Structure 1
Amino acid sequence: MKKLIITICILAFAAAAVQAQNKTTDVHGFWVVEHNVNLPRVQTVKFYNDNNKLIYEETVYSKLNIKKKKTRLALDQILDRLNERTAYIENKNLVMLSLNLRN
């Protein structure tokens, strides 16, 4: 009887641990925000695919706070849209338009 109760408890904890794991999202590529210490309001946002190939680059003349969730989500959405395309896209101000930034 004791073995049965211990076995049931172990299985219950194992089942709870399996359900508690986070789901991972499929991230294809990554983005990088580069800035210069001497020019803090000029930042360059670069988007890369899985093969570390540059797919889009834009210079933003406004300070981006990548600690904000809204900014990170907007950059992730741009990355998703860029991954759907195959060719390099010329500067179309995607970041400026997505974040409603001014020049």
Structure 2
Amino acid sequence: MSRRTQAERDAMTVEIGYALFSGVMVAAATFAGLSLPALLLPLPDGAEHVLFRAGAALGTLAFALRVAHVLWRFPRAAEERRLPLPPVQPSQPGRTSPDS
């Protein structure tokens, strides 16, 4: 297994930070979308509790799915950006393989 370069480690650190930040934003939006009616409308206490709990549960799920999606996609995107290695040249002219 090859060692990662500093640039690859930095890219992974930035990608993890992006995944966490975007996960928090998606979770907050999901929680707010479900909980906002409980704050703005006069609802029974039971309905408010259900909306807050559903918002928390779906917000947590949305966070986990967003982070997993971003981090799952990153290695494939990094491989596509990596430059291909130059072809191996034979050690002697006229030979087809370096070890022949």
Report the TM-score, using the length of structure 2 for normalisation: 0.28
Higher strand share: 1
Report the TM-score, using the length of structure 1 for normalisation: 0.28
Q: Which has the larger radius of gyration?
A: 2
Higher helix share: 2
